[in-house]
Amino acid sequence: MLIKIHKAYRDVVALCDSDLLGMKFEEGIKILEIKENFYKGEKKSEEELIELLIDLSKEDATFNIVGKNSVNCAVKVGIIKQDGVKTIQGVPFALVLL
């Protein structure tokens, strides 16, 4: 999985499954594009991400999460609940504002 933290007035956390980077999914008027300039960051294991996401969830951050593994990791941490996950062409994603 890849994680990139964009620094702004609040951290914007971009998290995606590595194999989705650079892909685009469309379903009707909905478009999900996993752009490299936004999502390409450090490659982390699930254990590393869980620790990092726990710390980031304590801050005033937003999260953009794409992909089965990334979404499952965020659910484990409690950042999102399964009913907050949407899909486009079978690809799960979630946007979170804490």
In angstroms, rounded to a whole number, what is the distance separating the alpha carbons of residues 97 and 20? 23
| Residue type at position 22 | G
Q: What is the pLDDT of residues 13-68, one digit of tens each?
A: 999 999 999 999 999 999 999 999 999 999 999 999 999 999 998 888 899 999 99
What average pLDDT does the segment 78-88 reach? Answer: 93
Which residues lie below 8 Å from residue 33, measured CB to CB, with a gap of 6+? Answer: 23, 24, 25
Domains for the chain: give ranges and CATH numbers.
Answer: 2-97 (3.30.1860.10)
What average pLDDT does the segment 60-88 reach? Answer: 94
| pTM value surpassing 0.85 | yes
The alpha carbon of residue 75 and the mean position of all alpha carbons in its chain are separated, in whole angstroms, by 11
Q: Tell me what pLDDT residue 91 has.
A: 97
